[in-house]
Structure formats: structure tokens, C-alpha cells
Structure 1
Amino acid sequence: MGTLPLPTDDPSKIALLIHSLSGGGAERVVADLANTWVSAGRCVTLVTMTDSKSDRYDVSPEVRRVALALDRPSKTLWQGIWNNWRRVRAIRRALRESGAELAISFVDRMNITTLCAADRLKIPVVVCERTDYRHHSIGKFWDRQRHRWYPTAATLVVQTEEVAGDARDWLASVPIEVIPNAVPQSAITSSPRVQSGAARTITWIGRMAEEKGVAELIDAFGLAARDLPDWTLALVGDGPLRGSLEARANELNVGDQVQFHGWQRDLGEVYDRTTFFALPSRYEGFPNVLLECMARGIPAISFDCPSGPRAIIRDNVDGLLVPAGDVAQFSAAIVQLAKDPERLERLGLAAAEVRERFGREKYLRRWEDVLEKTTDPGNLRR
């Protein structure tokens, strides 16, 4: 599994906190870190705001799982205040009972809640931003709370230098570390396959939400389908926009060519049927799914959105970057790649180099450095 030996001066008790394990890139990372660290001999507590019934990622039975079941919606201001107060108290209790020497929280609102909960505890908190917060709105209230509480973090972990540069402008006193995602272990268990274009399937994987740009992808495919009548667009995932996206495909008369597969636990068969991958996001963090498909020798077309894709894709070397939001150019890129099997093969072979560029051992060493620096008595900020 690529587990590194446990350094003797690093924390042996760690608490990981995230809203849920219900699917998604951040959730997968948390489950993987929990499993990796517990197998290295650490005591790991994994706390979620939801109950465990929604879990889609498996964690080792050796991981202490705390599911708070406090994710109920707030219908009024006072109910929101009450619910958040309960969440802060519950997280504070979970941290205290875990005996953790270090807490690591993932994703904006959970980060804020964890920092607030840990304010009375002598536990350093590492907060991890998983998207480009400059483009991802969490509402005025939560944005103010982020600026109030993030300066109390022991370390901020982001995924790209682009986001780190902005964060340093308003978090001058907080150490900021850049840790890109690693290629998932599941993607490197076999040799990259050579692309031939025979499958004639373009694949998208993710959550069907506004920021993922799936509507733009359907529009682009609708234009391209005139030249690619025997190609399929496979959409793997679910989310609040699924119904409207299905309607959009039908309106564009490509309903027969656009397949909605829902959420899939095992993506191996999906990748086996994929000719190339499409990433039409309006903004990103550092997309796991892009790393995973490229590691399998699958090239990708992506909008050059902030931030993440341009840190992974080398334009016209292992994939194609299209100006953000330009549906016509995205459609043209789809047609060009679909009709050029030699280019597909060349890009696919180069795409597999992400295995070395974003290798797991390098990734784990970066995390070990964060753990060591954050818990060094000379660096403690709490």
C-alpha cells in the first residue's frame, strides 16, 4: 500500500475530520489516509458530521469511527445557531475523547467548525482546502468565519501553488503546505493500456453539481455528435442536477448517445470502456479522477479552469486544455481527438507518466513532513 515507516517523533494519535464519507475526492483521501496511518501503527480517529450509513468508502476496523449524525438542515436562523453550537460541542468532545495529538480537518465548513471546537483544547489543527476557494462560494456568513478562524490553524494544506499564493496574502502567520493528490493505488495495479479509440466512449465522472460543468459538456457533445454519430458520452455519478441534465440531453437530441450510469463504487470497468476523459469543470481543486484515468493511459480534455487541471495536464503532451467555458472549442477538441487514433495513442502513453509525477510515496512523505512540522514544540501556535 506504499506505507512509510512511522517516525518515532511524529504524532501517534491523529483525528481526521470531514463532513461525510458519502463519495467524492476529499472523502476518498480521508479514508485512504486513515487506513494508511493505522496500518503504520498510529491510533486514528475518523469523525464525520453524518452517520455512517452514508459511507461509500471502507475504513479499517482498527480506525476508531465517530459518526456524529448532526448534519440536519437548519430552517431558521436560531435553529442554525443551535445546530452549529451542538456540532462544535460534539466535535470538541470527540477530539477530547480521542486523545489526539493532532487534528486534521477537510473542507471549508468542517474546517471552521473544527477550529472553533479546538479553540479550548491544546490540539494543533491542520485544515485542508480541497477546492479553489476563490471561486467556490460558501455564503457570506461562512466566508467571514473562515477569515476569523483560519488564522488560528496550525497549518493550511492546499493542493496547488496557485491557491497557496493567494492564501499567503491573507494568512501570513499560518504555514501553508502544498500537497497535490497522489495517483490512487487502484489505478496502478496494472499496466497502462494503449488507446485505440475502439470503445468510442467519452467518460465523465463526478458529482452532478453546477460547478462541475456537466451541462456544458452535454452541449459540447451535442455539437460534436453530428460528426460522431457512433460515439457515446458516459456520465458516471449523481447529484442534484441529474434530472435537468437528462432533460438537456434529450432536448439536444442526443439522449440515445448520452448514458447516465449513477454512482459506481468500482470504476475499473468504467475505465476499461473509456476512450478519453472529459473534465468540463468551472473550477477544481486537484481532481483525483483525472489522475486516475491518466494513470491508466487514458488522455483527457479539460477546461483550463482554476485550479488543478493545468497542474496535471501538459497541453498536447498527455491531454488537451481548452479555454475555460468555451463550449465550441471543447466540442472541436472532442471531434479532433475522436478522429485521430494516432494522437490518442501518443497522448495516452504520455498520460501514464502521472504515476511518477504524482507518486504515492512522494505524497505520503509530504504528509509526514506536515505532521512532523506541525507537532514540533518549536512550531506549535496553540
Structure 2
Amino acid sequence: MKITLIIHSLTYGGAERIMSIMANYWSAKGWQITLLTFDDNKIPDFPLDSRVTYIPLGIAEKSLNAIIGIWNNLKRIRILRNAIINSDPDIVISFMSRINITTLLATRWLNIPVIVSERSNPEKSYLGWNWQKLRKWTYSFADKIVFQTQRARDYFPVKLQNNSCIIPNMVVLPAIKKQSVEKVVIERSLIAMGRFVPEKGFDLLLQAFAKLKDNYPEWTLTILGDGKLRPELECLRNELGLSDRVYFPGMVNDTYAFLQQADIFIMSSRFEGFPNAICEAMTCGLPVISTDCPSGPREIIRDGIDGILVPNEDISALAAAIERLISNEQERNYLAAHAPEITERFSVKKIMEMWEDVLVKVTQKEFIIQKSESNTAKFR
């Protein structure tokens, strides 16, 4: 099997991580994998099997205006089309809306099966009017559309839903062993992580934690990550009197060291696609509190079994859930004991079998069409 994978980049991010796992998994099976990225980063942030052909195309430059944007997109389509042809794939898989649109246009009339995958929440991730229209039009060209959640699937017209399936993210982590390591968090620690952007809701988390600071002075909050909102979040932390209780270590190489030493993981997002951070925390045996945001947490967390879901953007409810676990060690231990079961529920083997089932169906469908067209041609 020869597969060409396409994504914007292989820099830090959930979709990028999943695509690198897929590339390595199939490469290990002896399949011929080509991975094309739109950026020009020659050294990806995620490790790739040496057998994966990795080609950064360098077509991700921003456009100064609409006219230049049209020209750049036409150039992207041409360069991507040539790269796909040169990779000679049996099937193409692309991730993320704009990349999917460009891929479907680049593969038009090439007679190559194409699977596209939505990796964010389409209700909240507004592309702009032109791209929104293009997505609905071009997605009809896809041989299959892969969504991560039912809610993301429901956003699209029924015709597109009928040509789709749901495949969640897999959970894969390096072997984690409890061992004596340098302390990276203070005991009695809440932890969160993600990009410092509005959708992650760290402002909500700070306000919720502030409600508890006086009653639980021994507890601290560590938020891993970085981004454009860092100055605003630091100001809010100080305004809430949390300067000595909330820590922003920035981007860290070993997030698992932090997760292993924390007591409770919190996700305060306003919206998500399929949050890998929750999965990573649960694999480390952490009880999880998450907003029931669209979409992803409800598909991952079994409320009351391995985590707690709270109403979206409800600061008081988030504070109440945090206090509930802070004050109840027995419930924390119960949730923590069940959390690692996620590694079985979303194992690499299970998820990759779902992907391979789609590959078989799509390539068989394509084969049948080609065979039918060939037989028709004989009788012309």
C-alpha cells in the first residue's frame, strides 16, 4: 500500500502528532508512506520513521491581499498536485479544513482516492465565507470524510454525513514508570495545559481557582503551554491575587513528568476538536475535570467513572467540581484508578484498525468503479 499523507506542518499540535503516529505505524508495516507538509520546516517536531518520505513543500506563505491570495492558492494547488503525482499513491489522506480543500482541488480528475479528516470543531472554527463555501463544495469530491466526534459530523449537510465515518484519536504514550525524579510541581497541585488562546478558557480556570484560594491555601495551579494570551493571563493571575499560587512554566519537553506529579487535571476549554491533553492526563492516572464543551470531552470522559464533566463556560460549576475533588480524596482515587483504562479504549491498534477498514472500503470502491468503467469501455 502506498499512502500520501498531507498536513500543514509537523509542528506542535494534536493533529500533527496523530498524523506522525499514523505515518510511523504504516511505515513499520512495510507500507510506502509519503508525508507532505505545506510549511518549509525540514526537521519536524514529531519523530518520523526513517522509511517515511517527508517532503516540506514550502507553500505556506501568507498573502498580503485577496488578489495575491488567489494567486498563492493556485500555486499551492499546482505544487501540491505535482507532489502527489510524483508520490504515486494508492490513496491520499489529508488533515484540517483548508488543507483538505486544497488537496481535493489538487487531486481533481487524478483518479486517486482521497480521504479528508476534520480535526477541529467546525461550529467554532470559522474559516471565512469563501473557505466555508469551498469546504461544502469540495468535500463532495472526497471518497470518505473522517470526523473525530458525532457533534462535528452533525454540523455538515446530510449528503456529506452519509459519506463519512467517526474515528477518534488514538492514545499512545512512551512507557511511564513511577520513579523518583526531580520535583516539577508542588504537592497538592492542579494542572492544565494547552495553547494560550481564547478557546482554551484559561481565564475561566483562573477565575474558578480564585474562588477556592482562601479555603484551600495548600493547593496550587500549574498551566503548561504558551501563546499570545500569556501577558493577559499573567495580569489576570496577579489581579486575582494568585501570583504565588499559579505557575506558567511555558512549553516543556517532558509534560508527563508534570502530569505524573500532579493531583488533578483540568480542561477549561470553550471548544475543542478531540483534546489529546485529556487523554494524556488520564493515561498518567489523573482524575480529570473538563468543561462539557463542543466537542470531544464527552466522547472521552465517562462522567463519574474516570472524570467529571461540568457545563461549558460556567465558572461556578468549574469551581464546585474542583472543590469536590480537592475535598474528597476517596473520589479522586476512584477516578484516578479508572482513568488509565483509556489506553485500551483508544489504543493505537483499535484506532488504526478503524482507519484501515476505511482504506479497504475506499480502495475497493475505487477498484469497483474502475473495473465497471473498464467493462463498459469494452462494449462501446
SS class of match (1:52): coil
Question: Is residue 2:319 matched to residue 1:331?
Answer: yes
User: Does the 8 Å CA contact 2:260/2:284 hold for their aligned counterparts?
Assistant: no
SS class of match (1:164): helix
Q: Point out where structure 1 has 5 or more consecutive residues left out of the alignment.
A: 1-11
Aligned pairs for 1:307-322 (under 5 A) are: 307-322=295-310
Give structure 1 regions of 4+ aligned residues with deviation exceeding 6 angstroms: 379-382
Q: 1:179 is matched with which residue?
A: 167
SS class of match (1:17): strand
Q: Give 1:299's match in structure 2, choosing from 263, 287, 290.
A: 287
Aligned pairs for 1:363-378 (under 5 A) are: 363-376=351-364, 377-378=367-368
Q: 1:94 is matched with which residue?
A: 83
Q: Give 2:140's match in structure 1, choosing from 151, 159, 167.
A: 151
Give 1:54 deviation, angstroms: 6.7
Q: 1:160 is matched with which residue?
A: 149
SS class of match (1:268): helix
Q: What number of residue pairs does the alignment pair up?
A: 365
Relative to structure 1, is the Cα distance of residues 226 and 139 closer, same or farther in structure 2, using a 3 angstrom cutoff?
Answer: farther
SS class of match (2:225): strand
Give 1:226 deviation, angstroms: 2.4
Q: Point out where structure 2 has 5 or more consecutive residues left out of the alignment.
A: 180-184, 374-380
User: Does the 8 Å CA contact 1:198/1:275 hold for their aligned counterparts?
Assistant: no
Give 1:303 deviation, angstroms: 0.6
Q: Give 1:352's match in structure 2, choosing from 340, 358, 364.
A: 340
Q: 1:66 is matched with which residue?
A: 55
Give 1:207 deviation, angstroms: 1.5
Deviations 1:238-273 (A, max 9, x none): 222222112211121212221112222322211122
Question: Is residue 2:130 matched to residue 1:141?
Answer: yes
SS class of match (2:302): coil
Question: Is residue 2:26 matched to residue 1:44?
Answer: no
Amino acid in the other structure paired with 2:302? R
User: Does the 8 Å CA contact 2:122/2:155 hold for their aligned counterparts?
Assistant: no
Amino acid in the other structure paired with 1:81? I
Q: 1:227 is matched with which residue?
A: 215
Larger relative contact order (C-alpha < 8 A, sep ≥ 6)?
1
Inter-partner Cα distance in structure 2 for 1:171 and 1:88: 23
Give 1:190 deviation, angstroms: 4.5
Inter-partner Cα distance in structure 2 for 1:168 and 1:126: 17
Deviations 1:84-133 (A, max 9, x none): 11111111111011111111000111111111111132211110111221
SS class of match (1:302): strand
Inter-partner Cα distance in structure 2 for 1:123 and 1:261: 46
Inter-partner Cα distance in structure 2 for 1:170 and 1:134: 18
Amino acid in the other structure paired with 1:216? L
Amino acid in the other structure paired with 1:242? R
Q: Give 1:204's match in structure 2, choosing from 170, 175, 192.
A: 192
User: Does the 8 Å CA contact 1:318/1:351 hold for their aligned counterparts?
Assistant: yes
Amino acid in the other structure paired with 1:354? I
Give 1:168 deviation, angstroms: 5.5
Relative to structure 1, is the Cα distance of residues 27 and 366 closer, same or farther in structure 2, using a 3 angstrom cutoff?
Answer: same
Inter-partner Cα distance in structure 1 for 2:345 and 2:177: 17
Give 1:55 deviation, angstroms: 2.7
Inter-partner Cα distance in structure 1 for 2:134 and 2:293: 26
Give 1:211 deviation, angstroms: 1.3
The percent of aligned pairs where both chains have the same amino acid is 39
Give 1:308 deviation, angstroms: 0.8
Relative to structure 1, is the Cα distance of residues 80 and 168 closer, same or farther in structure 2, using a 3 angstrom cutoff?
Answer: closer
Inter-partner Cα distance in structure 1 for 2:354 and 2:187: 38
Deviations 1:58-99 (A, max 9, x none): 112211111012222112111111211111111111101111
> How high is the TM-score relative to the length of structure 1?
0.90
Inter-partner Cα distance in structure 1 for 2:6 and 2:22: 11
> How high is the TM-score relative to the length of structure 2?
0.91
Inter-partner Cα distance in structure 1 for 2:262 and 2:349: 28
Q: 2:105 is matched with which residue?
A: 116
Inter-partner Cα distance in structure 2 for 1:27 and 1:259: 27
User: Does the 8 Å CA contact 1:88/1:116 hold for their aligned counterparts?
Assistant: yes
Q: 2:182 is matched with which residue?
A: none
SS class of match (2:285): coil
Deviations 1:274-307 (A, max 9, x none): 1111111111111112112112211111111111
Q: Give 2:45's match in structure 1, choosing from 32, 37, 56.
A: 56
